[in-house]
């Protein structure tokens, strides 16, 4: 029988902007299930990820630490973990990977939770040399060496994995399943898509909705939530979607359906890049400059991808209710980072501080009633780790940078962002309830934006802001907080 510990369902998307849902201000989004979840729980409208790209942000979710402390400062660096023995073939002889960090699923497993992951993880590189033997390496999956692998992995007792995005290069357990249930679809994916739209990596997908990886993640989650196993002990389920990350390839029928929908216009244009620090590009991408109407395609296709994710979330919520688990399950929904989607004439993400990238949705439904109601104060991606541990009654055993939302001092809420990748100069950022302040040490440039007046960050007000007393306060806290999170770590970078 279960103890009184709540179940934890953490739903994560990849590259989803804050304004992607109806409940977060997109009047054209078709996300009724996520909107309903927000109406029943808390919507944190100023949730800030620790980094604007995948692996550092996800590592911060799982450790409660900033990238400078856990060591995954950019894509292509595996998350070190002292208790992990590599389970890929021919790798066990290398022994465990030592680390100062303990992951959330490890702590929960020690506290009596069954831990399971369905979908995308991205805690180790996917495109490194196969000699590295990372379980998420797509070459190992391509060579058929991982077919029987389901973990354990970073504290997860069981893993059902999907790798990459779009349709042509998807791997993992999902692709194995697709080959079995829809071999004709799988075969078609080995050929280039002949449909052209004028935008790279954007075209109507050839995977029907019933076979899509978003549907697969939802169906796998429903199967577990309806099982007896889910009722035997408290569980932590990581339910993670590869979408709406580019390539933008929603199923063709959804592409057609959303072609007639209106879409949310970007709030900034390429010309607004001129006031940015020197680290930023000063021009947008070519396919937007030549054909501005392509922004509409990107936005509509993304709305279609978000809609398919929403369907899967709705089925998972209904499974919780049908299985009698709803009243004892904490549900978290968020994303690892956002996407420009035409803002500033850009698409995708860059290792630069930006509200378009670091501001993402965060919905929490807490049946225990202990979490605060919706707030406009900043909450960081590293805060979810201690919050979940508090709700589960789990003691944290290592140094973290996050602060639990239970009993939080609301007057001092801050969120940090660290960008330390190889392609752009490093930057360090702090958010308070109104401003984003960022420093680029290499050039000693600063930028500041007033989100009450300028949510799309078109006007850098640093020169006037530096004369205010609030600047000195934020600057001191920015420097102190980032220095506290520094723990130099040896990492090996590779293609992610």
pLDDT of residue 487: 75
- Inform me whether the pLDDT recorded for 495 exceeds 90: no
How many CB atoms are located within 10 Å of the residue 380 CB? Answer: 24
Q: Are 459 and 18 in contact (CB under 8 A)?
A: no
Band the pLDDT of 409: cuts 50, 70, 90: low
Segment 44-84, tens digit of pLDDT:
999 999 999 999 999 999 999 999 999 899 999 888 765 44
Band the pLDDT of 110: cuts 50, 70, 90: very high
Q: How far is CA 257 from CA 23, 80, 199, 215, 251, in A?
A: 21, 44, 19, 18, 10
Cβ burial of 477 (10 Å; 0-12, 13-18, 19+) is middle
Segment 435-481, tens digit of pLDDT:
999 999 999 999 999 999 999 999 999 999 999 999 999 999 999 99
Segment 356-396, tens digit of pLDDT:
999 999 999 999 899 987 788 899 999 999 999 999 999 99
Closest Cα to residue 405, out of 420, 425, 385, 419?
Answer: 385
pLDDT of residue 12: 98
Q: Which CATH number fits domain 7-403: 3.30.565.10, 3.10.20.30, 3.40.720.10, 3.40.50.720?
A: 3.40.720.10
Band the pLDDT of 398: cuts 50, 70, 90: confident
pLDDT of residue 251: 97
Q: Are 359 and 34 in contact (CB under 8 A)?
A: no
| Mean pLDDT for the stretch of residues 171-197 | 91
Q: Which residues of 482-494 are buried (b: 16+ CB within 10 A; e: fewer)?
A: beebeeebeeebb
Question: Would you list the DSSP string of 141-166?
Answer: HHTT-STT----BTTBSEEEEEESST
Query: Which own/partner contact pairs does 211-215 have at CB distance under 8 Å and 24+ positions apart?
Result: 211/178, 211/181, 211/182, 211/185, 212/251, 212/308, 213/119, 213/162, 213/170, 213/174, 213/241, 213/242, 213/243, 214/241, 214/242, 214/243, 214/305, 214/308, 214/309, 214/311, 214/312, 215/308, 215/311, 215/312
Whole-angstrom Cα Rg for the chain: 21
Q: Are 208 and 253 in contact (CB under 8 A)?
A: yes
- Which residues sit opposite 11 in a β-bridge? 239, 333
pLDDT of residue 196: 77
Question: Would you list the DSSP string of 109-131?
Answer: HHTT-EEEEEE---SS-SSS-GG
Q: Are 80 and 99 in contact (CB under 8 A)?
A: yes
- Per cent of the chain over pLDDT 90 is 77
Band the pLDDT of 428: cuts 50, 70, 90: very high
| Mean pLDDT for the stretch of residues 401-423 | 83
Q: How far is CA 249 from CA 37, 119, 376, 483, in A?
A: 26, 18, 33, 41
- Inform me whether the pLDDT recorded for 23 exceeds 50: yes
Residue 86 DSSP one-character state: P
Q: How far is CA 293 from CA 58, 198, 273, 333, 346, in A?
A: 33, 10, 20, 31, 13
pLDDT of residue 480: 94
Domains of the chain, by residue range, sit at 7-403
- Inform me whether the pLDDT recorded for 86 exceeds 60: no
Range scoring the smallest mean pLDDT among 198-202, 247-251, 439-443, 472-476: 198-202
Segment 276-317, tens digit of pLDDT:
999 999 999 999 988 999 999 999 999 999 999 999 999 999
Residue 196 DSSP one-character state: -
| Mean pLDDT for the stretch of residues 6-23 | 98
- Inform me whether the pLDDT recorded for 130 exceeds 60: yes
pLDDT of residue 97: 38
How do strand 329-335 and strand 7-14 relate by DSSP bridges? parallel
pLDDT of residue 99: 44
Tokens 């497993």 locate to 109
- Inform me whether the pLDDT recorded for 95 exceeds 50: no
- Inform me whether the pLDDT recorded for 89 exceeds 50: no
* C-alpha to C-alpha distance for 54 and 62, rounded to whole angstroms: 12
> Can you read off the two tokens belonging to residue 1?
């029988």
* C-alpha to C-alpha distance for 111 and 393, rounded to whole angstroms: 8
> Can you read off the two tokens belonging to residue 59?
């590592």
pLDDT of residue 100: 54
**With DSSP H G I counted as helix, E B as strand and the rest as coil, what are the percentages for the chain, rounded to 5?**
35, 15, 50
Q: Is 381 helix (H, G, I), strand (E, B) or coil?
A: helix
- Inform me whether the pLDDT recorded for 25 exceeds 90: yes
Q: Are 223 and 172 in contact (CB under 8 A)?
A: no
Those residues whose C-beta lies under 8 Å from the C-beta of residue 226, and which sit 6 or more positions away, are 319, 322, 323
Residues in the chain: 496
* C-alpha to C-alpha distance for 73 and 248, rounded to whole angstroms: 26
* C-alpha to C-alpha distance for 392 and 370, rounded to whole angstroms: 12
- Inform me whether the pLDDT recorded for 169 exceeds 90: no
Average pLDDT value for the chain: 91
Those residues whose C-beta lies under 8 Å from the C-beta of residue 308, and which sit 6 or more positions away, are 209, 212, 214, 215, 243, 250, 251, 254
């Amino acid at each position: 029988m279960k103890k009184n510990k709540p179940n934890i369902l953490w739903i994560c998307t990849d590259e989803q902007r804050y304004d992607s849902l109806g409940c977060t201000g997109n009047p054209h989004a078709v996300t009724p299930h996520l909107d309903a979840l927000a109406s029943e729980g808390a919507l944190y409208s100023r949730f800030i990820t620790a980094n604007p790209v995948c692996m550092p942000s996800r590592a911060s979710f799982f450790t409660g630490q900033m990238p400078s402390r856990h060591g995954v400062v950019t894509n292509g660096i595996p998350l070190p973990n002292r208790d992990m023995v590599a389970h890929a073939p021919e790798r066990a002889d290398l022994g465990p990977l030592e680390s100062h960090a303990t992951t959330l699923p490890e702590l929960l497993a020690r506290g009596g939770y069954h831990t399971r992951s369905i979908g995308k993880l991205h805690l180790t590189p996917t495109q490194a040399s196969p000699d590295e033997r990372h379980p998420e390496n797509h070459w190992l999956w391509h060579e058929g060496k991982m077919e029987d692998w389901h973990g354990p992995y970073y504290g997860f007792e069981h893993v059902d994995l999907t790798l990459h995005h779009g349709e042509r290069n998807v791997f993992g357990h999902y692709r194995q399943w697709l080959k079995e249930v829809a071999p004709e679809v799988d075969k078609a994916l080995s050929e280039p898509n002949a449909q052209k739209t004028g935008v790279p990596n954007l075209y109507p997908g050839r995977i029907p909705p019933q076979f899509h990886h978003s549907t697969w993640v939802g169906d796998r989650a429903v199967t577990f939530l309806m099982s007896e196993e889910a009722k035997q002990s408290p569980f932590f389920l990581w339910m993670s979607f590869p979408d709406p990350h580019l390539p933008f390839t929603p199923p063709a029928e959804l592409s057609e359906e959303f072609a007639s929908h209106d879409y949310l216009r970007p709030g900034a244009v390429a010309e607004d890049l001129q006031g940015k620090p020197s680290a930023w590009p000063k021009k947008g991408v070519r396919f937007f400059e030549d054909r501005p109407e392509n922004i509409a395609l990107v936005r509509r296709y993304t709305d279609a991808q978000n809609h398919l994710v929403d369907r899967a979330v709705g089925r998972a919520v209904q499974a919780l209710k049908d299985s009698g688990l709803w009243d004892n399950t904490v549900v978290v929904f968020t994303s690892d980072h956002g996407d420009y989607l035409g803002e500033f004439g850009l698409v995708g993400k860059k290792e630069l501080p930006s509200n378009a990238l670091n501001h993402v949705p965060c919905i929490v439904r807490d049946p225990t009633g202990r979490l605060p109601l919706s707030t406009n104060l900043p909450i960081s991606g590293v805060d979810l780790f201690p919050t979940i541990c508090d709700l589960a009654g789990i003691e944290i055993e290592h140094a973290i940078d996050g602060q639990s939302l239970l009993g939080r001092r609301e007057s001092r809420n801050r969120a940090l962002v660290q960008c330390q990748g190889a392609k752009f100069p490093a930057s360090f950022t702090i958010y308070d309830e109104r401003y984003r302040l960022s420093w680029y040490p290499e050039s000693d440039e600063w930028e500041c934006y007033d989100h009450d007046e300028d949510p799309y960050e078109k006007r850098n007000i640093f020169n006037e802001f530096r004369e205010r007393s609030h600047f000195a306060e934020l600057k001191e806290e920015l420097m102190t907080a980032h220095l506290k999170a520094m723990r130099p770590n040896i990492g090996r970078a590779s293609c992610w």
